[in-house]
Chains A and B, each alone.
Chain A
Amino acid sequence: MRVLLFLLTGLLTWSACSSPEEAQSANVAIRFSHNWENTPVSAADFNILKFTNDNGEMLSIERLRYLISNVILTNLDNETYELSPYQLVNLGDEEVSIESTQVPAGDYKLSFVFGFTDTENIDGGYPDLNTASFNVPAMLGGGYHFMQFDGKYTAQNLPPAGFNYHVISAVNTADPNNLIFQDTSFKVDLGVVSISATTEIEIKMNIAEWFKNPNTWDLNVLNTVLMPNFDAQILMHQNGKSVFSLGTVQE
């Protein structure tokens, strides 16, 4: 009888310890979607002068890659769960996602950093990003692009011309002997999400926002060679803050 009690106690103790943990484990997947003012955009829309920005230029998308980092869930007790240290998202690659099985169920604030903070923007430090040729020249501070957005635009019936909307950590090169750096990465807070056993979270990018809010972007003026253009980088930094939003959360 004593043995039976011992076994019963042990069984209860084991189940008390393990079952809540098992119940809390969740599969979280983050997926990225892209739109132009709520019209979905995919690689199938590339190379067509079908988008019109706030300044009235027609434009096409031929390449759109961007980097986010510190993708984090923070619970009400300010405990954080890192879903990914960084992720290169390529609109041409529909399969990109972030997945984790390490997060307990519950309510969390979801956030990430667009680009790398200066501390993490280590020149040549990420082999997968080097392999993807996402580097920034050392003469501009090194590290990595935050976004490479290439396409063509046309205005006033002129032939289409290329644009390279490349976002990097800003550097003022006015005085080559005294480069001034400004960290233009920024944190994006997407609000509260409820994580259950299986949760898929959509992060949306409205591409049109890069050209409109708060700065109306004039592609006739700002089209190429924007990486060394400190003022353009500041404008991009400001416009980028309204680009991302939380999409559907499916449980």
Chain B
Amino acid sequence: MKNNCLFLLAVFLLMQCSSKEATVYTPVPYTLEVPTQFTNKLIAPIIPANNPLTEEGVALGKKLFFDRKLSGNNTQSCATCHSPQKSFTNNLQFNEGIQGILGTRNSMPLFNLAWNFDERFAWDGKEVGLEKQALEPVRNPIEMHANWETVAEKLQASPEYPDLFLQAFGSSEIDSVLITRALAQFERILISGNSKFDRYLNGETTLTPQELAGFNVFMDEAKGDCFHCHGSDNNPLWTDNKFHNNGLDSNFSDLGLGAVTGDTNDNGKFKSPSLRNLKFTAPYMHDGRFATLDEVIQHYSEGLQPSATIDPLMKKVSQGGVGLSPQEKANLKAFLLSLSDSNFVNNPAFRE
């Protein structure tokens, strides 16, 4: 009799345990708020079938993004280098990892990542897919320098995370796969599409004469010719998400894409970043060498360095560039700043 009772009790307890995961949670689909000009001008964003956006997944991803437990000594989170107030980068040329070692690349701003259709992330394109990209900084010895198993154990031991994972993914067994899926969900909702120029295109505001003149410099093949790599009024991403050698150096201390592909023809190529939110994202270039936008414009106007892999779209290289006048430079700068989206950097939904 006693044995029978124990058996029934065990069966009852087992049912309690298993039924929780099997029946309690169905994540709520997350509705992405896509700006009108994105819907009208671009193809649909990439949302992987194995990681659909859900309210619970996005909320969990946000919590993880700001959680220092993801670093080896609990001192750094993703947001340490990717601050919402700075369009998800920061204003340092390079960042120190948890052990005080300085990196060699400027942290990239994060927004509109679901529209990166080649899905090659980072300055050199070494990470394919947002979920896979999220694996890298955590285990990078000069960044967050953690062990993914240890990170998962820390989260598993916390009082709140197991339930949050259960709600988001139907499993309270935390591992790097689910953590990076949640992080990627949060990153995919970081959409910036409400700059002054966006509102101008939507007929909601006007540009100053200087901003309009700067836009013409941007679009003029004989002047800035920026549009071939950096989008246009018809490509509101303001990047082609491709890799170019934009004439920074004649000799490369950092091979960029070339180190990833092993193809010497890719040496010195880096991803063309979006020109949105430049107001918040200084310093500029993959190595943060330019402290100001004026320096950036000066580079394209007069500072191009020849090399075997310089992009043919870089014009008049032998003369250093196209030689914009001071007025044209000022106009171009005014236009570029009109692509900055204060609503994005101040969005409380993206803050800790």
Contacts and interface: CB of A to CB of B under 8 A. Distances in A.
Contacts, number: 82
A16 to B, nearest CB: 45
B314 interface: yes
Contact of A161 (B228, B235, B308, B318): B318
A133 B235 contact: yes
B195 interface: no
Interface stretch (A28-36, A110-118, A121-129, A201-209): A121-129
Interface string A56-77: 0000001100000000000000
A122 to B, nearest CB: 11
B164 to A, nearest CB: 35
A228 interface: yes
Interface stretch (B95-103, B140-148, B168-176, B213-221): B213-221
Given A151-B312, A162-B313, A131 B43 contact: yes
Size range of the chain B interface in the assembly: 35 or more
Interface residues of A, number: 31
A241 to B, nearest CB: 24
A139 interface: yes
Interface string B220-253: 1110010111011111010010000000000000
A62 B235 contact: no
A133 B41 contact: no
B312 A163 contact: yes
A248 interface: no
A51 interface: no
Given A47-B309, A137-B220, A139-B216, A124 B234 contact: yes
Contacts of B311: 62, 150, 162
A152 B309 CA distance: 10
Interface of A: 46-47, 62-63, 123-124, 127-128, 130-133, 135, 137-139, 148, 150-152, 159-164, 166, 224-225, 227-228
Interface of B: 40-43, 115, 117, 216, 219-222, 225, 227-229, 231-235, 237, 240, 265, 306, 308-318
